[in-house]
Amino acid sequence: MKASSAEYQRLRERMVETQIASRGIADERVLQAMREVPRHRFVPEHLLSSAYADCALPIGEGQTISQPYIVALMTEALELQSHERVLEIGTGSGYQAAILSKLARDVYTIERHAVLAERAQRLLAELGYHNVHVRVGNGTAGWPEHAPFEAIIVTAAAPEVPQPLLDQLADGGRLVAPVGPAGFQNLICVRKKGQSTTTRNMAPVAFVPLIGEHGWPEKEEGGWDWRFWRR
């Protein structure tokens, strides 16, 4: 069911108030970006009426768009001021990239599913987020041509932070990622200072797996083998 853009605007205001600000997200730039980006454009047509609900939603290929609060929490932790180059691993719907594009100079985002990457790229262009650069590939290797990045966000879960991403993080940079085993990941924020890093645990989360070298191994065609994932 389609609503008018004024209704969607109201739904976003309410989402920010009841799901995000109320849970402690205080960065006004992040709150404003969440009020502005039309999340309903990034979800499948048949889920339009849930676009602003307090949960993750399926986007095809067995993948999901994250819960609004988690998008805000991860974004706030990146401490963006507008001059940064940001790397995102796991473009998915493109929603997180759209939020980042309002807060940083350039967003480089990598998605392993070509179907999702192409759809996200088209939508981001249509909506005018011209500082987002989408690439199909294995994001665990990062995007060395554009490194170093002041901020890196990984939106799929890895056994540990892929070393190439730490290598591509600028001095003083922040990296946010869900790390850990099946269903029990920790959202962590790593800050790099010279050659050393400090890590802070942020929240328990459940993300889809990061697949590939430096991530989890890929299973045969049908997609992820959940028995393995839960081992």
Binding footprint of ligand SAH on the chain (CB under 6 A): 63-66, 89-90, 92-93, 95-96, 110-113, 116, 138-140, 155-156, 208, 210-212, 215
Q: Is 22 a catalytic residue?
A: no
Calculate Rg over the CA atoms of the chain. 17
Could you tell me whether strands 196-205 and 149-154 are parallel, antiparallel, or unpaired per DSSP bridges? unpaired
Q: Between 176 and 190, whose beta carbon lies closer to ligand SAH?
A: 176
Least distance from ligand SAH to the Cβ atom of residue 193, Å: 27
Q: Between 151 and 156, whose beta carbon lies closer to ligand SAH?
A: 156
Cβ-in-10-Å burial (0-12, 13-18, 19+) of 88 comes to buried
Q: How far is Cα 93 from Cα 33, in angstroms, rounded to an integer?
A: 17
- Which two structure tokens, joined as six digits, stand for 116? 């999702």
CA-nearest of 192, 193, 165, 169 to 179 is 165
Q: Per DSSP, what are the bridge partners of residue 4?
A: none
Least distance from ligand SAH to the Cβ atom of residue 164, Å: 11
Least distance from ligand SAH to the Cβ atom of residue 154, Å: 8
Q: Between 74 and 172, whose beta carbon lies closer to ligand SAH?
A: 74
Are the CB atoms for 57 and 47 separated by under 8 Å?
A: yes
Least distance from ligand SAH to the Cβ atom of residue 49, Å: 18
Least distance from ligand SAH to the Cβ atom of residue 107, Å: 11
Q: Between 6 and 30, whose beta carbon lies closer to ligand SAH?
A: 30
Q: Between 122 and 193, whose beta carbon lies closer to ligand SAH?
A: 122
Region label for 30, one of left (φ > 0), alpha (ψ between -120 and 50) or beta (otherwise) = alpha
CA-nearest of 194, 223, 193 to 211 is 223
Are the CB atoms for 116 and 135 separated by under 8 Å?
A: no
Question: Phi/psi at 183 (nearest 5 deg)?
Answer: 70, -10
- Which is catalytic among the residues 5, 49, 50, 66? 66
Supply the residues annotated as catalytic. Answer: 66
